[in-house]
A and B are shown apart, each in its own frame.
Chain A
Amino acid sequence: MNGASDAAGMADMVGTAGMTSTTSASNANRGNGTSVWDAVVGQPIVPALQQTVADASASLDGAPSGSMTHAWLFTGPPGSGRSVAAKAFAAALQCDSGGCGTCAECTDVRNGTHPDVAALVTEGLSIKISQVRELVPKAALRPARGRWQIVIVEDADRLGEDAADALLLSVEEPPDRTVWMLCAPTAEDIAPTIRSRCRVVQLRTPPSDAVATYLSTTEGIDKRTATFAARAAQGHIGRARALATDENARSRREEVLKLPFALDDLRQCLDAAASLVDAAKADAERHCDALDAREVDELKRALGAESTGRKPRNMDAAVKELEREQKLRRTRVQRDSIDRALIDVLALYRDVLMLQLGVRTELINDEMRASLDRLARNSRAESTLRRMEAIGQAREALMANAAPLLTLESMALTLREG
């Protein structure tokens, strides 16, 4: 089950970082750029990648390519920073000094304006074949700045069958200087034909303390908040950042965690399900409304609206297309918001289970220990497991396009029964 993949990229986007390029740039800049690898948190594989960067650099001067290869697959659980790692790797390959974080190459890769780094980011639910068709010719270009032509596919698990087929030929035999970087939760999410051409970089869920340290040193968040956010986010960096910086995200989470305590009768169960869906809609509105408006505005201005005298041609078509994409994004934001809530509830039952089984381990929701104790006393481990199972099933059903309200209602009823 990799239903969790949903929340992955999106939490980063919806949180505070990715959606607006200005924020993400300033976030990264605050690191003072000792290295592009600073943003890759708690990953023991980094030195190996750095070695590859050195090999790659040497191969440009004619040395054997060593550990460098032309197709990479970054895998790891949601929030482990797959696309962040891929971008860091890309920047390090383009940089003269292995990813200094300050030179023009590093900055351009970070800002998404490097001519030799193309990234396919999907904000919708799947990657369309037309997007792949636009990408493949880019992979065939010779690098304009002389080092590597890099193509990053975030959320490669969202490639449909035909989109994956379209990609295959190019991933199989790219030109000498072209490097593909795909990102997906697990290697199994990628068609075997493509997977077999890639070298896999496996990332792990970063330990909470590494995330906390990252948040406090890089993003200037106070230690206590950082520790809480890292623990509550269960190693999901984007989510941790959102919890640490966004009051709204915190209060949303608190609301969600009240849910298991208010499932006494049918009425409450249905209300709980409805409130999850409503909150997701509200989330989507909060994140998308302003953003949608701004994007349309920017596009119109770029095409010359607001000028007096004449209405630019093609503008309506371009705006319509943008709006279509925005609608898909909204669906995904809603879905991801529900998934995030479910993960939080799942973590709560996990804590309950730990208490019931007497396992001495750090509780994710340590601050609500008393309530957890109460829940643990009032039920048995078997029913907690059944509840967790129900949440898992609901997440899978939602991934498979089930109607959100129905799915959540059914889940809430199972949670009540235990």
Chain B
Amino acid sequence: MKFRLERDVLADAVAWTARTLPSRPTVPVLAGLRLDASDGTVTFSSFDYEVSGRVSVEGEVADPGTALISGKLLADIARSLPAKPVEFSADSSKVVITCGSARFTLVTLPVEEYPELPQLPSASGTVDGTTFAEAVGQVAVAAGRDDMLPTLTGIRIEIDGETVTLGATDRYRLAVREITWNPVRPDLTGVALVPARTLVDAAKTLASAGDVTLALGGESDDSLIGLAGGGRHTTSRLIDGEWVPNYRRLFPTEIATVARIEIDSLVDSVKRVALVAERNTPVRLAFGDGQLVLEAGSGEDAQASEALPAQVDGPGIATGFNPSYLLDGLQALGTPFVHMSFTDTPMKPVVIQGIDSLEGEPSSGYRYLAMPIRLSS
């Protein structure tokens, strides 16, 4: 095997494929990165039985072939090479990398023991990479982080014709985002539960690729999800099991009070007041009369309070939230103002949505629902 690549192309390709490699592989070969050179194309691939990554780039291939070498090391090397063409040449036991006057010799791993990468399922449609990455990032904040409750560590992707609905929850909050996309068939439907960490990472690294292809396989092969864009392909195993059944019904329909507030100042205030909120105690919010009063701490302990201007429509309401859950939602909105809607009881969840102006109505497809903490008074 012998080929030559531009340094930047190599560094990009290797950094992307090597990012999912385990630092302590269960089987030694899984720490490897596979190189395939043929016909003017060099392909880099990685796989850990759960996530696979593959990227193809153009290169001058003098001698086609295959080799498996330590991925993390190659990534380190590729990053630090001078900006000159990089030449790879391999014999049966070694790969020699030459770049300018730098020269590295890497031991190869047994490529014949390397597992076969899963095929990308058949394409379901395409979505704008930036929109998708934004949407995934917005819902991921609500995904559970407790590995002992695996179904909640996933992001649910639901496809219904031209709408893709992403959802995540950890039982205390629920984030849902709807986006439109171009399905291969207008009547396409499907549901998949994808590990949140994997999806966030994949979506982020594909964001700049323009159109991203989503591949859910449909009925025939529903064991994997595939994402592809800009020459990069990635697949991930799916989580099995029941997600929140009928989650749409969790959003209250009877809205009594709506508050509109500027996000930046609200975020700052919550952070400040939360400084005295002990673990698992709420930041209390009292809405009414053109202002919002935030309070935290109680009794003998440290206390804080702060008032903010707010546009409140409807009867005043006092409720409390875990400050970090509140902040997660507010910071995911990506708009200058927040639209918070309450029912007539402080025990029901708040729904947070983004608005562009204090007079605006929420339009983007993102909704963040947070459960209140019962106030002890």
Contacts and interface: CB of A to CB of B under 8 A. Distances in A.
B28 A137 contact: no
Given A137-B147, A144-B223, A302 B109 contact: yes
21 contacts: A113-B27, A115-B49, A134-B147, A136-B147, A140-B151, A141-B240, A142-B223, A169-B149, A170-B148, A174-B241, A175-B242, A177-B240, A301-B109, A309-B77, A309-B104, A309-B105, A310-B73, A312-B70, A312-B73, A318-B23, A318-B24
Interface string A289-332: 00000000011011111111110111001100110000000000
A169 to B, nearest CB: 7
Interface in B322-342: none
Contacts of B115: 113, 115
B241 A299 contact: no
Interface string B5-31: 000000000000000000111011111
B150 interface: yes
Contacts of B102: 309
A166 interface: yes
Contact of B153 (A137, A166, A309): A137
Contacts of B31: 302-303
A307 B105 contact: yes
Nearest to B115: A113
A192 interface: no
B237 interface: yes
A207 interface: no
A303 B195 CA distance: 26
B118 A144 contact: yes
Sorted nearest first, the 9 A-B pairs with minimum C-beta distance are A304-B73, A304-B70, A140-B150, A175-B240, A302-B28, A175-B241, A302-B31, A142-B240, A307-B106
Interface in A174-195: 174-178
Contacts of A113: 27, 115
A142 B192 CA distance: 10
A299 B109 CA distance: 11
B148 A169 contact: yes
The listed residue with most A CB atoms (<10 A of its CB), out of B49, B109, B238, is B49
Interface in B243-275: none
Contacts of B77: 309-310
A286 interface: no
B4 interface: no
A47 interface: no
A133 B24 contact: no
A191 B94 CA distance: 51
Given A137-B147, A301-B109, A307 B240 contact: no
Interface in B53-76: 69-70, 72-74, 76
Contacts of B157: none
A307 B73 contact: yes
B278 interface: no
A4 B324 CA distance: 52
Contact of A303 (B72, B238, B241): B72
B28 A298 contact: yes
A174 B24 CA distance: 27
B104 A141 contact: no
Interface string A230-242: 0000000000000
A54 B122 CA distance: 31
B376 to A, nearest CB: 30
Interface size class of B (residues with CB under 8 A): 35 or more
A306 to B, nearest CB: 5
B129 interface: no
A168 to B, nearest CB: 10
A137 B150 contact: yes
Nearest to A177: B240
A390 interface: no
A166 to B, nearest CB: 6
A31 interface: no
B184 interface: no
B300 interface: no
A265 B106 CA distance: 62
Contacts of B104: 307-310
Contacts of B49: 115, 144
A258 interface: no
A400 B152 CA distance: 39
B238 A304 contact: no
A143 interface: yes
A384 interface: no
Interface in A108-153: 112-113, 115, 133-134, 136-137, 139-146, 149
B237 A144 contact: yes
Contacts of A145: 223
A24 B76 CA distance: 36
Given A145-B223, A309-B104, A166 B237 contact: no
Nearest to B69: A304
Nearest to A108: B115
A105 to B, nearest CB: 14
A301 B110 CA distance: 11
The listed residue with most B CB atoms (<10 A of its CB), out of A146, A169, A307, is A307
A310 to B, nearest CB: 6
A308 B72 contact: no
A312 B103 CA distance: 16
B91 interface: no
Interface string A322-351: 100000000000000000000000000000
Nearest to A140: B150
B34 to A, nearest CB: 13
A310 B77 CA distance: 8
